[in-house]
Structure 1
């Protein structure tokens, strides 16, 4: 096996890695704020709305992500009446599935983070004359971030690996090109290269979140 072969295999795989990273960034940027919004709705005093948010989280966390990807890619167009208006590019359809799925996980993480903040913090902020919004932005959320960062890091690493599920709907990401090379040449080197690329991506995320944890540490 020559280095020329390795470089030949790596070229399309690097293009696939760009798609993997793009999906990760697209999903993480949208699912985190959406998940936090769901958390606030789950804590709403309007019970029907809170119940809907809880059911959303239950359904999205209780069904496989791959099934959700299939539904948005192939199921939406089959819906009666509105199906013809819900035909999306496969990348877009898969991205919707990723965002909705991970928003549910982040919602639970943020809910746990908010519950971990002592109720005395709310009372102290009220005594200081802070509004509810000021209390949330200046007191509660900074403390919540410190608590949720490790779990958020784990979910982010899981997300970068879950992008491999795009292979199932023929989106040309990293694993797609690795599998194509293995099928074409009958050699496993492409899988090893893919594994190294995923490890490098997770390493970058790990270092990033380590830095964030250090920054938000009160110790």
Structure 2
């Protein structure tokens, strides 16, 4: 098999990896906000629940979480698995896992905002929701961007874990090609794909960071 054919097959697998990446971000970035707010809540049961969720998600392997989400419907509730079950379990596990990490990043950003800004907003007549949306979050977004960028880049590489439950992403395709062709070339090509995608992500994050330079602490 020539290199162009291998690259074509790997590119098809990369499309699946890119879908996992995009859907994870679309789900986990907004989900992390209510989790972070629950973590900061003064209502103790809610705070403890959020802390437990974050602790479990960050303290156990993502691969194990995928297996749990995949098999739980069958073994716990007796629901038959379908051809879409692997894909659904993969996306759900990725979203809840990364939501926990993003929640802690949000929490650190929110806690970094001086208390005086909340008090000033209250004097100006802003509601708590308005204060959070118009004053706090713009500052938080800038402060947490480097940390968010690190997690997003890690996510690109973590998409390779989807192979564990049989999702045919790029890494599983590369493994199959290495076994059938007895060559390390598929791994080299897939490494270039991962690096190229991460490089693109870095460029996009860099441009976002520059656009946010209008705001100075």
TM-score range, shorter chain: over 0.9
What's the TM-score once normalised by structure 1's chain length? Answer: 0.94
Tell me how far 1:11 sits from its aligned partner. Answer: 1.1
Task: Give 5+ residue unaligned stretches, structure 1.
Answer: none
Unaligned runs of 5+ in 2: none
Partner of 1:212: 208
Alpha-carbon offset, residue 93 of structure 1:
0.5
Corresponding residue number in structure 1 for 2:23: 26
1:64 is the counterpart of 2:64: no
Correspondent of 2:32 among 24, 32, 35 = 35
Residue 10 of structure 1 and its aligned partner are, at CA, apart by 1.0
Where do 1:147-166 residues align within 5 Å?
Answer: 147-166=143-162
**Residue equivalent to 2:175:** 179
Correspondence for 1:130: 126
Q: Does residue 73 of structure 1 match 2:73?
A: no
Equivalence for 1:53: 50
After TM superposition, the runs of 4+ consecutive aligned structure 1 residues lying more than 6 A away are: none
How many residue pairs are counted as aligned between the two chains?
214
Distance 2:81 2:7 in 1: 35
Q: Secondary structure at the match of 2:42?
A: coil
Task: State yes or no: 1:83 paired with 2:78.
Answer: yes
What's the offset of the Cα at 1:75?
3.7
Quote the offset at 1:204 in angstroms: 1.0
**Matching of residues 104-115 of structure 1 within 5 Å:** 104-115=100-111
Provide the secondary structure at the position in 1 that maps to 2:79. helix
CA-atom RMSD, angstroms?
1.4
> What's 1:100 paired with?
96
Query: Using a 3 Å threshold, how does the CA distance of structure 1 residues 17 and 44 change in structure 2: closer, same or farther?
Result: same
1:169 to 165, 168, 172: 165
| TM superposition score normalised by structure 2 | 0.95
Matched, 1:12 2:9: yes
Alpha-carbon shift at residue 76 of structure 1 (Å): 3.5
Partner secondary structure for residue 196 of structure 1: helix
